[in-house]
């Protein structure tokens, strides 16, 4: 029975077994299936992740923003540079005033001496090391430059250029790439000590690290340590997802393993050092220790002290939480934790670590500005570069662009524009006035400043480059130039009628130009007609010369815009931009040597290799002697013509040349003017081109004067070239006369254009001169 | 009131002191040229060198002027840059030489020596049009007499020759030899 029982039990058991077995088999098979599916998915998934992570790593050509630099400031005995201007330049270049000039980037002004610690810099021509020197200024000029210490006199020194803009990639990340070899050893070892002690040995993930972190977290009851390796953190940074899901952790771990399988430790470390997120400057993310060092300390990474290295490493844990500018106490505590870890791992001795921990954060008050002040000028830079670069290259290749901007001139120009328009408003002019200004170097055509809006830093419509407006009387000098070029017919003393006239226009209508003020002046000299800007005389003269000849001449002077052949062109019925007007007047100010206006002089690769240079090129204009005579006439516009209020605005006399311009219904106000070294154009008007109540002298000239009152300059060069010379003439009749005779003035003439008649006083002096030569050589001079 | 022919007036009406100084200067230089180089410069044989700028501009200009140089005072910074540019030029690095000369020009925009040096660098870079333009500018604002005047015209001559303007080139060379005995005008 028992046997049977047993049997039945066994039977039952036997019967029961297949059921569980069946289930187990099912589960087993299901598991196998799942595993198969998992494997089937995992393998392609890993392959996919592998593809992702390797392309990211290898194809990781960091998009580097291009850096745009101002011109470097040359310091030499004789340079026109008041102390205030020098300080303005130093500040623009990110220098800081300090009682102790002990580090590059610091300066100190004491009276007329300025001590400067110049940073090392790769200029567009050569590398220069950091150096300290003292500049002595006297009477608005550099009197001497001496090296420190030592006091050796220097003939020439220069300040590295201000960075005026960076042209950013779309991702808005800022980087300054560094190589592992250039990174301070403490940063490399310290980083591992704090973030990943087992970095050298783990295969990408660190199980012991995870365990240690888990234990520490358990002990503390909250998450105090992360077990992520540097490799995992790098992967996390690459793919920029910060969700804390298991799936992400899983992917991260796989990718870390894959990275380690493909690349060696130093490659991974270098990528990490350049990738890690260290802060946020406005819209731009600060990535990498190189950029972090510049951002927080304004120093290259190589020059950081141990406590600064510790702070940067501390920021890896949370750049915004430990932001040393916003939360200095947190940052200090974190830094000192890191220093303690340095001591614990033997990177620093205990004493060293304590000493470093007692120091301040050493962070600069503000990061170096990104120079929004220079929008308008940078527009011009982009325009010049667009001729050879795609916008994409500018944003990603890390180019170093060396420009011609003079920060102190730019600052003064913008201030003159902003302040000038406010003053005009106080005098009852509309608040909607706008302005544009261009300042260029006469001889080199280098644009030193550009103002495109009355409000500093406002980007948008750039009037200096894009506002195309009628130029009014600013065209007149070209009419007179054309006349002077016909020296057999005209000189500055030639007579012309300033009387009413009526012309039939090409469209059939009649045109009767009137003078400003409505008065006609009868017969006047060309000089008077130009300096007082008489319309009727100018139109008469223009008609004698021909509309088409004038258009040709304007084009010869560098204007490419199309111009309608109508007589009203003699009074400036032609639309040009302030930049185009500057180009015309550069040629005139330089005595007939046209130089294409430039804003860029050289472009380098990120490594400092020269890509392009824009050399100085000049084109001689025909009839340069006529241009020189015109230069004189334009100084008379300022001395006694429509711009005679200018010397009062400048606060000093001295030959400045210029011309006012006003258009119909007072819509536009222009002033073009130049000294020996600067040519500058200002425009004032309304954006909608409606009447604005402005004239050349009541608006644009006020702004021009406001600028040049602040600008060191030298008088216009009035030396005549071959083919032109100075003669004494009677200011009323225009006859030749003698020096010291009544109404005698000196005027330049082109060979062959001199007056044929002379005064009695002249004849008397002739006699004296004959006897002078007799005395000197004992015979009559032929 | 008298009538005069223009030219006649001009010769007489200039500043007397300048005229007198210039007359003395001209006489002296004529004497020097006559004394030091008995045979005229146009017939002097110049030792030939590899470089056109030396053989056809600098050396004959030195001969022309017999060592008389009329340079305005130079800023020491400019001197330093000119020397550096000279070194770069000798090493055949014309781009660097031009960069240094342009830097010098920013310091002294109207220095005929810098402009002429740039012209000579451009001559070696075979940019004859710019060489011509810079040499012309240097002459326009320079002393128009002495060694630099001769270098100006010789550069102009060589450039014009390369540009295919042969008659103009010959004329320029004649101007070079006249740099020591023609009184400049309009200063």
Residues of A in contact with B137 (CB under 8 A): 593, 618, 620
Region A91-102: mean pLDDT is: 89
Tell me, what's the pLDDT at A174?
Answer: 64
Question: Is residue B187 predicted with pLDDT exceeding 70?
Answer: no
Tell me, what's the pLDDT at B66?
Answer: 66
pLDDT tens digits, A41-79: 888 888 888 887 777 777 666 667 788 999 999 999 999
A469 pLDDT band, cuts 50/70/90, is very high
A594 pLDDT band, cuts 50/70/90, is very high
Question: How many residue contacts between A and B have a Cβ separation below 8 Å?
Answer: 123
A334 pLDDT band, cuts 50/70/90, is very high
A167 pLDDT band, cuts 50/70/90, is confident
Residue A466: CB atoms within 10 A of its CB come to 13
B57 pLDDT band, cuts 50/70/90, is confident
Residues of A in contact with B110 (CB under 8 A): 443, 676, 717
Range in A10-24, A94-108, A402-416, A617-631 with the lowest mean pLDDT: A10-24
Q: CB distance from A727 to chain B under 8 Å? A: yes
Tell me, what's the pLDDT at B9?
Answer: 43
Tell me which residues of chain A, numbers 384 to 403, contact chain B at a CB-CB cutoff of 8 Å.
none
User: Does the annotation count A754 as an active-site position?
Assistant: no
Tell me, what's the pLDDT at A23?
Answer: 83
Contact call for B102 and A754, based on CB within 8 A: no
Region B52-68: mean pLDDT is: 76
Contact call for B4 and A736, based on CB within 8 A: yes
Contact call for B99 and A616, based on CB within 8 A: no
Tell me, what's the pLDDT at A399?
Answer: 86
Tell me, what's the pLDDT at A84?
Answer: 94
Contact call for A442 and B109, based on CB within 8 A: yes
Q: Vertex A759, ends A627 and B21: CA angle to 5°?
A: 60
Pairing of strands A284-287, A277-281: antiparallel
- The more confident residue out of B74 and A34 is A34
Q: CB distance from A616 to chain B under 8 Å? A: yes
Q: CB distance from B126 to chain A under 8 Å? A: no
> From the candidates A115, A160, A163, A195, which is the catalytic residue?
A195
Question: Is residue A475 predicted with pLDDT exceeding 80?
Answer: yes
Find where tokens 């992570």 sit: A53
Q: CB distance from B81 to chain A under 8 Å? A: yes
Closest chain B residue to the Cα of A614, Cα to Cα: B99
Tell me which residues of chain A, numbers 414 to 443, contact chain B at a CB-CB cutoff of 8 Å.
441-443
Least CB–CB distance from B102: residue in A156, A616, A725: A616
Closest chain A residue to the Cα of B10, Cα to Cα: A727
Q: CB distance from A613 to chain B under 8 Å? A: yes
- The more confident residue out of A229 and A531 is A531
Q: Vertex A435, ends A434 and A439: CA angle to 5°?
A: 170
Question: Is residue B2 predicted with pLDDT exceeding 50?
Answer: no
Contact call for A444 and B109, based on CB within 8 A: yes
Question: Is residue A241 predicted with pLDDT exceeding 80?
Answer: no
Tell me which residues of chain A, numbers 588 to 607, contact chain B at a CB-CB cutoff of 8 Å.
591, 593, 601-602
Q: What is the sign of the dihedral through the CA atoms of A738, A763, B27 and B168? A: positive
Region A81-104: mean pLDDT is: 91
B4 pLDDT band, cuts 50/70/90, is very low
Tell me, what's the pLDDT at B6?
Answer: 41
User: Does the annotation count A195 as an active-site position?
Assistant: yes
Tell me, what's the pLDDT at B67?
Answer: 56
B37 pLDDT band, cuts 50/70/90, is very low
Nearest to A393 by CA among A613, A600, A238, A606: A606
Closest chain B residue to the Cα of A752, Cα to Cα: B6
| DSSP string for A456-507 | TT--S--HHHH--EE-GGGGHHHHHHHHHHSTTT--TT-EEEE----EE-TT
Tell me, what's the pLDDT at A172?
Answer: 58
Tell me, what's the pLDDT at A780?
Answer: 44
Alpha helices for A103-206 (secondary structure H): 185-195
pLDDT tens digits, B162-174: 999 999 999 999 9
Range in A84-98, A155-169, A261-275, B16-30 with the lowest mean pLDDT: B16-30
Tell me, what's the pLDDT at A773?
Answer: 62
Question: Is residue A775 predicted with pLDDT exceeding 90?
Answer: no
The kind and range of the H/E element at A729 are: strand A724-730
Region A295-299: mean pLDDT is: 85
Range in A225-234, A259-268, B101-110 with the lowest mean pLDDT: A225-234
Nearest to A487 by CA among A634, A656, A622, A635: A622
Tell me, what's the pLDDT at A223?
Answer: 58
Region A630-651: mean pLDDT is: 94
Region B140-158: mean pLDDT is: 90
- The more confident residue out of B1 and B125 is B125
pLDDT tens digits, A663-718: 988 899 999 999 999 999 999 999 998 888 888 889 999 999 999 999 988 899 89
> From the candidates A66, A176, A228, A473, which is the catalytic residue?
A473
Question: Is residue B48 predicted with pLDDT exceeding 90?
Answer: no
Contacts of A60 (CB under 8 A, 6+ apart): A238, A271
pLDDT tens digits, A386-395: 877 776 677 7
Question: Is residue A173 predicted with pLDDT exceeding 70?
Answer: no
pLDDT tens digits, A493-540: 999 999 999 998 878 889 999 998 889 999 999 999 999 999 999 999
Contact call for B6 and A759, based on CB within 8 A: no
Q: Is the ipTM of this complex over 0.85?
A: no
Tell me, what's the pLDDT at A763?
Answer: 83
Q: What is the mean pLDDT of chain A?
A: 87
Q: CB distance from A79 to chain B under 8 Å? A: yes
Tell me, what's the pLDDT at A303?
Answer: 80
Contact call for B106 and A613, based on CB within 8 A: no
d(CA A262, CA A58): 10
Domains delineated in chain B: 6-180 (1.25.40.10)
pLDDT tens digits, A206-226: 888 778 777 877 777 665 566
B35 pLDDT band, cuts 50/70/90, is very low
Contacts of A657 (CB under 8 A, 6+ apart): A589, A631, A634, A635, A637, A638, A673, A674, A675, A716
Specify whether the CB–CB gap between A434 and A453 falls below 8 A: yes
Least CB–CB distance from B1: residue in A677, A728, A760: A760
Reduced to 3 states (helix: H, G, I; strand: E, B; else coil), residue B126 is coil
pLDDT tens digits, A272-290: 888 888 988 877 788 889 8
Sort A248 into a burial class: Cβ within 10 Å, 0-12 / 13-18 / 19+: middle
- A134 to chain B, closest Cα gap in Å: 16
Distances (CA, A) of A126 to A92, A418, B100: 22, 38, 10
A171 pLDDT band, cuts 50/70/90, is low
Contact call for B76 and A723, based on CB within 8 A: no
Tell me, what's the pLDDT at A26?
Answer: 84
B181 pLDDT band, cuts 50/70/90, is low
- A80 to chain B, closest Cα gap in Å: 10
Specify whether the CB–CB gap between A278 and A311 falls below 8 A: no
- Extract the tokens encoding B66: 């017999």
Nearest to A486 by CA among A571, A415, A545, A530: A545
pLDDT tens digits, A176-206: 777 777 788 999 999 988 888 888 888 888 8
Q: Distance from first CA to last CA of chain A, Å, rounded?
A: 166
Tell me which residues of chain A, numbers 622 to 641, contact chain B at a CB-CB cutoff of 8 Å.
624
Question: Is residue B24 predicted with pLDDT exceeding 50?
Answer: no
């Amino acid at each position: 029975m028992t046997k049977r029982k047993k049997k039945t039990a066994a039977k039952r058991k036997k019967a029961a077994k297949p059921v569980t077995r069946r289930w187990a088999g099912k589960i087993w098979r299901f598991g196998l299936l799942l595993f198969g599916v998992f494997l089937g998915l995992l393998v392609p998934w890993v392959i996919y992740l592998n593809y992702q992570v390797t392309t990211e790593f290898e194809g990781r050509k960091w998009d580097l923003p291009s850096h745009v630099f101002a011109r470097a400031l040359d310091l030499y005995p004789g340079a026109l540079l008041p102390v205030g201007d020098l300080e303005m330049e130093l500040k623009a270049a990110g220098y800081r005033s300090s009682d102790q000039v002990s580090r590059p980037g610091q300066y100190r002004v004491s009276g007329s001496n300025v001590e400067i610690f110049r940073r090392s810099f790769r200029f567009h021509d050569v590398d220069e090391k950091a150096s300290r020197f003292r500049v002595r200024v006297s009477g608005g000029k550099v009197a001497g430059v001496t090296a420190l210490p030592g006091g050796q006199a220097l003939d020439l020194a220069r300040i590295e250029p201000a960075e005026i803009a960076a042209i950013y990639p779309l991702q808005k990340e800022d980087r300054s790439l560094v190589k592992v070899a250039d990174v301070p050893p403490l940063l490399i070892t310290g980083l591992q000590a704090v973030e990943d002690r087992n970095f050298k040995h783990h295969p990408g993930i660190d199980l012991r690290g995870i365990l240690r972190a888990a234990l520490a977290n358990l002990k503390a009851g909250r998450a105090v340590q992360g077990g992520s390796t540097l490799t995992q953190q790098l992967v996390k940074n690459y793919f920029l997802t910060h969700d804390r899901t298991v799936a992400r952790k899983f992917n991260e771990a796989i990718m870390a393993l894959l990275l380690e399988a493909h690349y060696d430790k130093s490659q991974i470390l270098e990528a990490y050092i350049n990738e890690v997120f260290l802060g946020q400057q406005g819209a731009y993310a600060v990535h990498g220790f190189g950029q972090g060092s510049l951002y927080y300390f304004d120093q290259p990474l190589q020059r950081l002290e141990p406590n600064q290295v510790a702070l940067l490493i501390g920021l890896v844990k949370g750049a915004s939480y430990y932001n040393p500018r916003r939360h200095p106490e947190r940052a200090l505590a974190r830094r000192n934790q890191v220093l303690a870890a340095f001591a614990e791992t033997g990177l620093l001795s205990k004493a060293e670590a304590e000493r470093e921990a007692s120091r301040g954060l050493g962070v600069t008050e503000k990061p170096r500005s990104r120079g929004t002040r220079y929008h308008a000028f940078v527009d011009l830079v982009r325009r010049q570069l667009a001729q050879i670069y795609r916008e994409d290259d500018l944003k990603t290749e890390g180019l170093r662009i060396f420009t011609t901007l003079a920060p102190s001139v730019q600052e003064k120009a913008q201030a003159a524009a902003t302040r000038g328009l406010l003053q005009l408003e106080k005098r009852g002019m509309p608040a909607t006035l706008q302005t544009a200004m261009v300042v260029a170097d006469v001889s080199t055509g280098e644009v030193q400043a550009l103002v495109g809006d009355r409000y500093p830093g406002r980007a948008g419509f750039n009037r200096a480059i894009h506002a195309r407006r009628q130029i009014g009387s600013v065209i007149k000098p070209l009419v007179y130039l054309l006349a002077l070029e016909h020296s057999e017919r005209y000189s500055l003393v030639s007579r012309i009628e300033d009387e009413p006239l009526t012309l039939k226009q090409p469209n059939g209508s009649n045109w009767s130009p009137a003078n400003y003020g409505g008065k006609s002046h009868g017969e006047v000299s060309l000089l008077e007609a130009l300096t007082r800007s008489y319309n009727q005389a100018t139109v008469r003269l223009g008609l004698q010369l021909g509309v088409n000849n004038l258009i040709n001449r304007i084009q010869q002077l560098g204007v490419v815009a199309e111009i309608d052949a109508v007589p009203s062109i003699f009074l400036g019925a032609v639309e040009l931009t302030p930049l185009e007007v500057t180009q015309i007047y550069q040629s005139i100010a330089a005595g007939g040597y046209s130089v294409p206006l430039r804003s860029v002089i050289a472009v380098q690769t990120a490594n400092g290799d020269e890509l392009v240079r824009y050399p100085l090129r000049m084109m001689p204009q025909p009839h340069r002697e006529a241009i020189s005579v015109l230069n004189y006439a334009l100084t008379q516009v300022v001395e006694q013509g429509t711009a005679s209020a200018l010397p009062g605005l400048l606060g000093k006399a001295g030959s400045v040349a210029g011309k006012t311009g006003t258009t119909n219904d007072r819509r536009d106000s222009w002033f073009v003017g130049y000294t020996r070294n600067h040519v500058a154009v200002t425009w004032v008007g309304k954006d909608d081109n409606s009447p604005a109540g402005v004239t050349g002298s009541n608006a644009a000239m006020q702004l021009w004067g406001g600028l040049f009152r602040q600008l060191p300059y030298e008088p216009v060069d009035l030396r005549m070239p071959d083919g032109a010379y100075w003669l004494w003439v009677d200011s009323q009749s225009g006859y030749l006369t003698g020096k010291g005779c009544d109404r005698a003035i000196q005027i330049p003439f082109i060979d062959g254009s001199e007056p044929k008649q002379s005064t009695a006083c002249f004849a008397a002096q002739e006699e004296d001169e004959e006897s002078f030569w007799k005395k000197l050589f004992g015979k009559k001079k032929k | 009131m008298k009538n005069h022919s223009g030219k006649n007036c001009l010769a007489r009406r200039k500043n007397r002191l300048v005229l007198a100084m210039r007359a003395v200067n001209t006489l002296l230089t004529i004497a020097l040229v006559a004394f030091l180089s008995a045979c005229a410069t146009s017939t002097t044989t110049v030792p030939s060198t590899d470089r056109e700028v030396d053989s056809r501009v600098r050396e004959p200009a030195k001969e022309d002027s017999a060592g008389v140089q009329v340079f305005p005072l130079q800023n020491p910074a400019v001197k330093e840059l000119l020397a550096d540019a000279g070194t770069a030029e000798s090493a055949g690095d014309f781009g660097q030489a031009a960069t240094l000369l342009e830097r010098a020009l920013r310091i002294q925009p109207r220095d005929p020596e810098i402009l002429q040096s740039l012209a000579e660098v451009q001559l070696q870079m075979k940019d004859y049009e710019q060489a011509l333009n810079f040499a012309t500018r240097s002459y326009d604002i320079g002393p128009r007499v002495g060694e630099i005047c001769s270098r100006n015209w010789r550069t102009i001559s060589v450039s014009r020759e390369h540009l295919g303007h042969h008659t103009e080139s010959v004329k320029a060379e004649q101007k070079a030899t006249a740099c020591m005995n023609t009184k400049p005008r309009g200063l």
